[in-house]
Amino acid sequence: MAQDKNQEIETHTVSVLVDNEAGVLARVIGLFSGRGYNIESLTVAETDPKNRQSRITIVTGGTPMVIEQIKAQLERLVPVHKVNDLTMEGEYVARELALIKVAGKGTKRVESLRIADIFRARVVDSTNESFIFEMTGSTDKLDAFIRLMEPLGLIDVCRTGIVALPRGPKPF
């Protein structure tokens, strides 16, 4: 039984603090592709300009043994300062931003605006026959909204992937 549990695929959110130097993202991505790990989403930006450090947030899936491998492999990259497995380290807040373009006229257009209001999406661009909605939330919420937009004239979606922080006062 224990063996079966070890074969289950789990989804983990991993946060990696790296030196913001040339090629660092390629190193991380190359590690995932070279060793056959999954990337469900990946975000990266400089978060500490003074120390030239960036934070990469990766959502990945694998068996517990694979997840352990991913973390160990990330940790041994030279420009990596710290690896945190948010899924293992208690509660955390995860958010994603999406821009969603919907085109339509008449009731479909009204309906899309109504649903956007329910989901607290903001209109950031509008023409007589289209909207771009901006929406922040959990991945599930974004998925649900996008699904609802499909019959109403969904044109394009752009998503950032997850950014996440542990809850409470303490740092990573």
- Which residues of the shown chain bind other proteins in the complex (CB under 8 A)? 19, 22-23, 26-27, 30, 34, 65, 68-69, 72-73, 75-81
Least distance between other proteins and beta carbon 110 (Å): 50
Q: Do residues 85 and 61 touch, judged by C-beta distance below 8 A?
A: no
Least distance between other proteins and beta carbon 36 (Å): 13
Handedness of CA 61, 75, 53, 23 (dihedral sign): negative
The residues facing 62 across adjacent strands are: 10
Smaller CB distance to other proteins: residue 76 or 114?
Answer: 76
Smaller CB distance to other proteins: residue 26 or 118?
Answer: 26
Least distance between other proteins and beta carbon 129 (Å): 42
Return d(Cα 117, Cα 86) in angstroms, integer: 31
Smaller CB distance to other proteins: residue 41 or 73?
Answer: 73
165 burial (CB, 10 Å; 0-12 / 13-18 / 19+) is middle
Smaller CB distance to other proteins: residue 1 or 78?
Answer: 78
Residue type at 127 in one-letter notation: T
3-state secondary structure 1-45: CHHHHHHCCEEEEEEEEEECCCCHHHHHHHHHHHCCCCCCEEEEE
Among 37, 42, 46, which residue's Cα sits nearest to residue 17? 46
Least distance between other proteins and beta carbon 76 (Å): 6
Residue 71 phi, psi (nearest 5): -65, -45
Least distance between other proteins and beta carbon 73 (Å): 5
Smaller CB distance to other proteins: residue 77 or 154?
Answer: 77
